[in-house]
């Protein structure tokens, strides 16, 4: 089954999908040779699908553009999505796939104010003018919280390993290729003993945090998805996120970014090292000094830092 998504220009699909590290975490994948974003997704009906997303015009397999057939608006970029298995996808499931991919790729976010402000900075504008800033996120906040917890006090290499094992050992298999799995649901994680997360998934002390969060969601004690609907103010959101065990100052700010609020910087060892090197001749910088570097970017501090750091 094939479907289409659109977002406003400028939008550099290939760069945007790869700009944030989440692309290296299962069950997401970037297929370089075909410039395709691949994701195994478990739908609310329980069906597990593989979605492959490609920018229209880059459709190597088809060799033709769907653009003319689907929109003639020059201000819009079209993405083509191939879904497997193609059979028996209901209208509801199709809508869910569209909504989840749009959320993951942030196709509905309005970055125009960011681009306006970025034009005042030569270095930043040169980075983002072709349409970057829609950093990849997961289809559920639960997955983003778990992944963020897996980035704390560890190396990126170990984070990738933890998430890969979580997906392989606990996620639902993709029927057409059982070696591929979706990200586990709270039910699937809550169903195993915390010792499994420690000994098999090797989450270390994070095991208790991840298991507890899954249990809270399954029991109805916590509803993460209500934090995604934009009804809370940023301070309210942050307070709520920090009530999750394992989520502290860094993780909460990182999650705010993932939810589309870029005014807070997630200070971690990576940011400290970058700012120290770039702005303080390698001398250690105080947190207040780091924050002051990006202060002028106001609502867009995180994106300003991000494209500064990966330049």
Using CB under 7 A as the criterion, which residues of the chain lie in contact with DNA when the complex forms?
21, 151-159, 161, 198-199, 202-205, 242, 244-252, 254, 266, 268-270
Half-sphere exposure of 89 (CA within 13 A, CB side): 21
DSSP state of 121: -
Question: Judged by CB, which is closer to DNA: 47, or 132?
Answer: 132
How many C-beta atoms lie closer than 10 Å to residue 18's C-beta?
18
Question: Judged by CB, which is closer to DNA: 49, or 145?
Answer: 145
Question: Judged by CB, which is closer to DNA: 51, or 251?
Answer: 251
Distances (CA, A) of 264 to 26, 149, 298: 26, 18, 9
What the block records as the tokens of 50 is 């593989």
| Smallest distance from DNA to CB 267, Å | 8
| Smallest distance from DNA to CB 19, Å | 10
| Smallest distance from DNA to CB 209, Å | 7
Question: Judged by CB, which is closer to DNA: 231, or 269?
Answer: 269
First to last CA, the chain: 38
Calpha distance 211→213 (Å, rounded):
5
Question: Judged by CB, which is closer to DNA: 125, or 274?
Answer: 274
What is residue 173's three-state secondary structure? strand
Host H or E run for residue 28: strand 28-31
Q: Residue 121 CA to chain centroid, in angstroms?
A: 26
Question: Judged by CB, which is closer to DNA: 4, or 165?
Answer: 165
| Smallest distance from DNA to CB 193, Å | 13
What is residue 199's three-state secondary structure? helix
Total count of residues recorded for the chain? 311
Contact 42, 48 (CB under 8 A): yes
Contact 279, 285 (CB under 8 A): yes
Cα Rg of the chain (Å, integer): 20
| Smallest distance from DNA to CB 311, Å | 15
| Smallest distance from DNA to CB 222, Å | 14
Q: Within the chain, what is the greatest distance between any pair of CA atoms?
A: 60
Question: Judged by CB, which is closer to DNA: 103, or 306?
Answer: 306
| Smallest distance from DNA to CB 212, Å | 10
What the block records as the tokens of 6 is 């659109």
Token look-up 């299962």 returns 26
């Amino acid at each position: 089954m094939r479907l289409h998504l659109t977002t406003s220009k400028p939008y550099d699909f290939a760069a945007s999908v790869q700009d944030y590290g989440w692309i290296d975490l299962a069950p997401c994948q970037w297929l370089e040779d075909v410039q395709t974003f691949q994701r195994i997704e478990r739908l609310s009906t329980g069906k597990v699908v593989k979605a492959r997303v490609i920018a229209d015009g880059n459709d190597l397999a088809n060799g033709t553009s769907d653009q003319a057939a689907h929109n003639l608006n020059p201000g819009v970029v079209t993405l083509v999505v191939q879904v497997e298995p193609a059979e028996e996808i209901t209208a509801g499931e199709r809508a869910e796939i569209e909504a989840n991919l749009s959320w993951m790729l942030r196709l509905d976010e309005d970055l125009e104010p960011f681009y306006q402000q970025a034009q005042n900075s030569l270095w930043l504008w040169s980075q983002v003018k072709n349409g970057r800033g829609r950093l990849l996120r997961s289809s559920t906040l639960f997955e983003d919280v778990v992944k963020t917890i897996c980035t704390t006090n560890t190396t990126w290499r170990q984070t990738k390993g933890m998430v890969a094992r979580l997906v392989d050992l606990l996620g639902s298999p993709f029927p057409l290729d059982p070696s591929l799995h979706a990200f586990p649901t709270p039910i699937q994680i809550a169903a195993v003993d915390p010792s499994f997360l420690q000994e098999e998934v090797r989450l270390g002390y994070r095991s208790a945090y991840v298991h507890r969060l899954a249990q809270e969601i399954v029991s109805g004690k916590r509803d993460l998805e209500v934090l995604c609907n934009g009804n809370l103010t940023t301070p309210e959101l942050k307070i709520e996120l920090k009530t999750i065990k394992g989520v502290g100052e860094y993780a909460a700010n990182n999650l705010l970014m993932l939810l589309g609020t870029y005014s807070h910087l997630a200070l971690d060892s990576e940011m400290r090292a970058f700012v120290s090197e770039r702005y303080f001749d390698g001398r250690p910088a105080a947190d207040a000094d780091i924050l002051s570097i990006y202060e002028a970017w106001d609502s867009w501090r995180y994106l300003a830092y991000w494209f500064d750091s990966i330049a």
